[in-house]
């Protein structure tokens, strides 16, 4: 059995990751900007917290030269991608970037918003 070239495997993962980014609205320039800031594979998302993703996204959006002109929707979808990866790891399922779709991103984003709202409602009800 032939050994897998790590550089080739990493290059393939980058292509697949960028395709997943493309399905949630990141054009090639935005993909490159994210890649340059360490977002290179689905697994790589596991090393960033939601707050770190928000911070990197803000830096890219506010940089003077070539700002990342993407909406907050894309930021939410990137965070949803991270949640999807974490869920797949926790449930011992494969993390194939080709399985991540815009519909999944929308579904995860809605779930994240609902959970945040429920937590806020619970805190408010504790006050009364």
Q: What mean pLDDT comes out for the span 94-119?
A: 93
Q: What is the pTM of this model?
A: 0.84
DSSP state of 50: H
- pLDDT for 117 beyond 80: yes
Return mean pLDDT, the chain: 89
Percent of the chain with pLDDT over 70: 92
Domain ranges of the chain: 6-127
Q: What mean pLDDT comes out for the span 108-125?
A: 81
- pLDDT for 56 beyond 70: yes
Cβ contacts of 53 within 8 Å, gap of 6 or more: 45, 75, 78, 79, 82
Q: Output Rg (C-alpha) for the chain, integer angstroms.
A: 16
Q: d(Cα 74, Cα 76) in Å, to the nearest integer?
A: 5
- pLDDT for 126 beyond 90: no
Nearest one of 24, 40, 74, 33 to 54, comparing CA atoms: 74
- pLDDT for 124 beyond 60: no
Confidence at residue 83, expressed as pLDDT on a 0 to 100 scale: 95
């Amino acid at each position: 059995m032939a050994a897998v070239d790590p550089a080739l495997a990493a290059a393939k993962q980058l292509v697949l990751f960028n395709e997943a980014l493309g399905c949630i609205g990141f054009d090639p320039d935005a993909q490159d900007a994210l890649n340059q800031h360490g977002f290179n594979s689905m697994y790589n998302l596991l090393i960033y917290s939601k707050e770190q993703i928000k911070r990197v996204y803000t830096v890219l959006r506010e940089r003077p030269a070539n700002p990342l002109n993407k909406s907050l929707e894309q930021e939410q979808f990137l965070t949803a991608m991270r949640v999807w990866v974490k869920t797949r790891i926790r449930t011992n399922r494969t993390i194939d970037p080709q399985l991540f779709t815009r519909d999944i991103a929308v579904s995860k984003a809605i779930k994240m918003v609902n959970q945040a709202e429920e937590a806020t409602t619970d805190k408010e009800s504790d006050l009364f």
